[in-house]
Structure 1
Amino acid sequence: MTTEQLSDEYWNSFYSERDQIWSGKPNVVLVDEVADLTPGRALDLGCGEGADAIWLAQQGWTVTAVDISSVALGRAAKHAEDAGVGDRIDWQQHELGTSFPDGEFDLVSAQFLHSKTELARESILRSAAGAVARGGVLLIEGHLGFPPGEPNPHPDIHFPTPDEVIESLELPEGEWDVLVSREHERTQVMPAGDVINRRDCTVKVRRR
């Protein structure tokens, strides 16, 4: 069985545990950081059940939304139809470590692109930067650690700081502006319903 098949199996099993895993609301940082952008073409990496993609479509964006889980994508497509924006979103299944959507985008969003299966995150985010059109924005939101009280199942996993994220993007000098690079606290509702406080980081860069 390939790594892609293992990842697909893991995430399909994860999403099949319940009829709804996440809150159905868009990520707060996405809403805050995209509010001042002119809608255009958006790419949502790791779209899950589709809340971010649906919100973007409702704001006027044309969205390509990507996930490895066929279960999540099917659920997301139904949510989009129910919200009346199904025609504005192209749902694509990708194992981002091995394939990546075609095209250039005015916004590329990677919200909590983490995995307990193998994930070439730095390489994927470099591909994400490469997909940003001139004048477009790359928005990356990530955790800075596992949830409080949860034992680290993979001691070799490193959660990068904003500076480390920017460095790993290997952005050509003089071609990008760093708009946001910060750490912050956030309240999160876990899939089981528990409410916890987490420390996350935001990176927002614009291609000149």
Structure 2
Amino acid sequence: MIVGLIIACEVAFWVLLAAGLAFRYALRMPRTGLALLLCEPLLEVVLFAVTAIDLKNGAEPDWRHGLAAVYIGFTVGLGHSTIKWADARVAHRFAGGPPPVRPPKYGTARAVHEWKVAGRWILASLVACALLQAAVWYVGGDGDTGSLRAWQLRMLWVIGINLVIAVSYTVFPKQEPRGKAVENPVDSESGAGSSSRR
């Protein structure tokens, strides 16, 4: 039941996202579209409530309950950025909006971008860990919480990997190729366009 609900929530997330963007831009009904997009958090509330009820009714905590906590955490941490990413592209394609801003490729700007991405993944993992810990406390010392602890360990790995990636871009920043540093030969002679980062 829990796995089926997780799948249903994932499908509903993308259906609501598509419907919300369609109403906002294709049908020119921005308020209705916004209302549909604001329904996204309700999916996590429903999943959390059903998971809690399942545990309260005596179900043994297993990987399914851990997966539900992880799904909620990742939706909290990454859901907003996913909606924002899709909204910018649909607005550009169908409503004459500006082109989506591409992430920087080089130097400090790229390092800052990587830290922002890592921050979202770390937030997702921390929310998942907190929900998993709440489930562990709820079950108590008499129950088998090994599967929940295993999910917590996986989330710590996710945090560690994202920290390593962000730190690597900070300590070893990617440098812009010399051939791209100067785009206009005329500017290079006057010094106006030298060594500018994108």
Greater per-residue helix proportion: 2
Higher relative contact order (CA 8 A, sep 6+): 2
Larger radius of gyration: 2
Relative to the length of structure 1, the TM-score reads 0.24
Greater per-residue strand proportion: 1
Relative to the length of structure 2, the TM-score reads 0.25
